[in-house]
Structure 1
């Protein structure tokens, strides 16, 4: 088994690309002491249009081969005849089943609703409301006009969400909390509930508290998060939940998002990490956007690199980045959205310096972290 890693770098648009360019500096082999190769693919809107999305398919093939990807935010055009969403193509081609986003307390930032423990949202990556067939019938614009939508989920995706939710909870010492609205939709949403119950029976050492999605939202803002939580969710429920959970800790730009594809035993086969926010065109060229999520995306992909390829040093490098990002915030090196005054490049400079020092010190001590 090789001690080297190849990471597929998926370039994007506007501020998303600027953040990637800054954050990816932490993956310099001289900083991490790792044998890393970065293969770049230009997924900018301009190049997707120029290639008719072929560059997205090329990037997906490369990521299936490397098992690892870091993606910048990209623009999804609204026109139905345009190139559409690159994320959809990437998810389908690598057979991504689960997206995990973890909110964490950021040192020096007061969380909302008294939440201090990590909260991971484990959601479907495909199907549900996204990609559903939609149509309207009746008089256009009149009171008789009716809109329809057909959605689907699969047992396989429900099982992947349930299995990975319980595995994540076990690793975090967390409680699996929440679920869909299975009382109203016992056939459709009840399928996820069935798989959660099944996984709970196989993981009796993990605390399991199923609650309906509306009660979950109420619980998050009224004190239910009195310990680490893992929240399993349908695709759109999870999308909405992530946009609630991450700002509870200070900013949607304060945590990474990771798409996972699995082997048959639900061990990760492909991991693509990214920032969950958009391209922030209003911030482009100003060097003020928060790079934490992109920096943490690099940490996440190294963590999965250790799991997928067995490169132990990648786990140490991952921890160094996670610690450096949070230590920098604790020391006050923060962008304006977190109450600081640092520029994007200054935050990344600080993190790179801290990571370099950690790796050097750990090497001197001969210790593995």
Structure 2
């Protein structure tokens, strides 16, 4: 079968790293006999400036029809709505298609100098991505000019989906030789919404008695993540906590330029690097494309699992091996201590496929 993939390059360096990801995808697809049809569409802050709409309904509908979506980066710091917030179509997509789980691997890759003493870092942050402290982002502003509010909403249905994905991921990682443990980061000792989240976690955990679990307050958890990152395997949490913790997890393994992610629901998925649009370096051919290239690998793994397609799984493994080979050979962008350009890293990965 042919896979229909919608590509949303977006803004800033999103455009450049998307070009890199597409080049690698096309090369590996040809190598393993995989047919991928790409549809490039416009959305983001640039689209908002041109049309007044950040993501048009036909684009949003195409996202829903696609087998998967590759997403570059969206938003520009000087393009904002009337309420002062940035343009964030990625949040609209997550909410529209119930992309509940933001899956963000944190792995110390070959050729990358350790930030910490630990040399064996390999865990996954699973961030709830549609509610939590982001739930009220469309709420009206306060009528009191001296007070503003945001709300945290936790629902059973969303939390159960989130935890089902986390436990499934842990089971798959255990089969691959990892610990297969799920850790919940929360603040259940203070916030009633977080206490409810822990209750739902306990209920889902009871359905997976073969999977080891632990519950850790988020403030203690981030300290442990720095001091002993090797203790973690799958770490799951609320939206805002996950937004912060996933960046910390990227930092301890070399930075956001290396960090891939997938926004995953029961029926749809979007794959993108964890970094933003970085307009200050856009167009300079210096952005690190590895996060996007590894997001391509995540997409291929997801398609392979979903459609029982060994070609996709083989392609994903080849992409990861090629990234490791390029980095080990010293082909690195300046954010990770190298001198290579975006184009040079991309070419090295393609050559290693």
Q: Which residue of 86, 108, 129 corresponds with 2:89?
A: 86
Structure 2: 5+ residue stretches without partners? 175-179
Residues 271-329 of structure 1 show CA distances to partners (whole Å, capped at 9, x for unaligned) of 11001111111212221111001111111111111123333211111111111112211
Provide the residue aligned with 2:126 in structure 1.
122
RMSD of aligned residue pairs (Cα, Å): 2.1
Provide the residue aligned with 2:190 in structure 1.
184
Provide the residue aligned with 2:160 in structure 1.
159
1:130 CA drift (Å)? 1.5
SS of equivalent to 1:112: coil
1:54 CA drift (Å)? 7.4
2:41 aligned with 1:53: no
Rounded to whole Å, the distance in 1 between the matches of 2:54 and 2:186 is: 36
| CA contact 2:332–2:339 (8 Å) conserved in 1 | yes
Q: Which residue of 238, 244, 249 corresponds with 1:234?
A: 238
SS of equivalent to 2:248: helix
SS of equivalent to 1:152: coil
Cα 1:175/1:294, change in 2 over 3 Å: same
Which of structure 1's runs of 4+ aligned residues deviate more than 6 A? none
Residues 91-150 of structure 1 show CA distances to partners (whole Å, capped at 9, x for unaligned) of 122221111101101112232333323121111111222242364466x5xxxx443333
1:249 CA drift (Å)? 0.4
| CA contact 2:11–2:45 (8 Å) conserved in 1 | yes
Provide the residue aligned with 2:177 in structure 1.
none
SS of equivalent to 1:192: helix
Q: Which residue of 102, 105, 115 corresponds with 2:105?
A: 102
Q: Which region of structure 1 is more displaced relative to structure 2, 120-129 or 74-83?
A: 74-83
Q: Which residue of 309, 318, 321 corresponds with 2:316?
A: 318
Residues 32-57 of structure 1 show CA distances to partners (whole Å, capped at 9, x for unaligned) of 43111001101243333444437443
Rounded to whole Å, the distance in 1 between the matches of 2:349 and 2:8 is: 22
Rounded to whole Å, the distance in 2 between the matches of 1:53 and 1:78 is: 12
SS of equivalent to 2:121: coil
Q: Which region of structure 1 is more displaced relative to structure 2, 238-247 or 190-199?
A: 190-199
| CA contact 1:254–1:293 (8 Å) conserved in 2 | yes
Residues 172-203 of structure 1 show CA distances to partners (whole Å, capped at 9, x for unaligned) of 23321232101111x31112211221222122
Provide the residue aligned with 2:257 in structure 1.
253
Greater C-alpha radius of gyration: 1
Rounded to whole Å, the distance in 2 between the matches of 1:53 and 1:79 is: 11
1:237 CA drift (Å)? 0.2
Rounded to whole Å, the distance in 2 between the matches of 1:94 and 1:109 is: 35
Q: How does 1:129-278 map to 2 (within 5 A)?
A: 129-132=133-136, 133=139, 135-136=141-142, 140=145, 145-173=146-174, 174-185=180-191, 187-223=192-228, 225-262=229-266, 269-278=267-276
- TM-score normalised over the length of structure 2: 0.90
| CA contact 1:128–1:151 (8 Å) conserved in 2 | yes
Matched length: 340
SS of equivalent to 1:226: helix
- TM-score normalised over the length of structure 1: 0.86
| CA contact 1:113–1:248 (8 Å) conserved in 2 | yes
| CA contact 1:48–1:56 (8 Å) conserved in 2 | no
2:20 aligned with 1:19: no
| CA contact 1:105–1:118 (8 Å) conserved in 2 | yes
| CA contact 1:31–1:352 (8 Å) conserved in 2 | no
SS of equivalent to 2:340: coil
